Structure 1
Amino acid sequence: MSHRFNSWTLVFFLVLVLGTGWLWASQVPANALPQARPAEPAVGHPAPPLVLPTLDGSTFDLERLRGTPVVLNFWATWCGPCQRELPALQAAAERYEGLVVFAGVDQGEEPEVVRPYVEQMGLTFVIPMDRDHEAAHRYNVMGLPTTFFIDQYGVIRHIWTGEMNSIILAEAVAQILP
């Protein structure tokens, strides 16, 4: 019986050593593991810097607007929900003129396409042109329209993805008014 006990003891220790060696060899370095990326920009966090050419040839610089609340709407002329919400955005831009800056960041289109559309819709707020989608990527825009409501300190207070009506828009703007 003692011989049998020694054989099982030997097998046990052999499995233990081989198993430990296998676990050690199969470890993945911590820097090779996928890292969870925070869903930024996020409510309560600073809005990422944003500098884009505008449809009228000037430059839109979000940092220069510090001290003024901003409604930053990502849209495109081909987007049905964007088309339906633009009148509400225009009305709000007129209502809050001098208190809130409204900016409609066009996604990936040529000025020759956007300009006639903006004129036809009667849009008077600034239209930054994100032709390479870099701003949309930086803002983690997953669908159009997406709107960021940024307070006077440059902090995002509300994010809305999808079409807004005038009531939703007014409630969100109220969150960023000083």
Structure 2
Amino acid sequence: MQRLRGLGRGQLFAIAAAMVGVVVILALSVIPAGGTGRHAQPAPAKNFTLVALGHPGQVSLRSLAGQPVIVNFFASWCGPCQRETPLLASFYRSTHGRVALIGIDVNDRASSALAFMRKSGVTYPVGTEPASESTVIAYGLPGLPATFFLDARHRIVKRVYGAVTRAELTSGAALINPRAK
């Protein structure tokens, strides 16, 4: 307390503001994907339709209506994405049919993304995000990679920002489809 008495009003205000900021950040970091409280509902995922990479056509969330889906945002130039994508590819092969997986390539050249997908063993559908990055904005990404776990009604029940681990994939898949284990 003695140290605080020698500080000016501006300094005390700055310390108080920093403390409030830390409390807010800590509080937000523990809020579940769908809100707070005992009866919180998962947040609805935004639909998207993107140009498919590696095959003609489109990749859309709506085309997977009624199915649990994992949506992964990545880029070939992203270091953590380079580490997690082979894991996602392996996980997809092991759970194929029980959980759908869609990759969304962000801010990348198609040739780089296709080479990266081949090298990583990706067989799940991947769409490319247009220059407007409207899907990135709709999902509120803080950066890459980011993975969203959607239940069969396409509500976000879990988010992982940063490289996803096998344990996170397994627990997230079990949340959206208990048969996915």
* Deviation of 1:51 (Å): 0.8
Amino acid in structure 2 at the alignment position of 1:128: G
Equivalent pair of 1:50/1:62 in contact (CA under 8 Å): yes
Q: Which residue of 1 aligns with 2:47?
A: 49
The alignment's TM-score, normalised by the length of structure 2, stands at 0.72
Equivalent pair of 1:68/1:151 in contact (CA under 8 Å): yes
RMSD: 1.2
Q: Which residue of 2 aligns with 1:105?
A: 104
* Deviation of 1:131 (Å): 2.8
* Deviation of 1:110 (Å): 2.0
Q: Deviations over 1:36-63 (max 9, x none)?
A: xxxxxx4301101111111022211111
What is the distance in 2 between the residues matched to 1:61 and 1:118? 19
**Aligned ranges for residues 95-134 of structure 1 at < 5 Å?**
95-132=94-131, 133-134=133-134
| Higher Cα Rg, which structure | 1
Amino acid in structure 2 at the alignment position of 1:161: Y
**Aligned ranges for residues 1-178 of structure 1 at < 5 Å?**
42-43=33-34, 44-55=42-53, 56-132=55-131, 133-177=133-177
Equivalent pair of 1:69/1:100 in contact (CA under 8 Å): yes
The alignment's TM-score, normalised by the length of structure 1, stands at 0.73
Structure 2 unaligned runs (5+)?
1-32, 35-41
Aligned length in residues: 137
4+ residue stretches of structure 1 with deviation over 2 A?
Answer: none
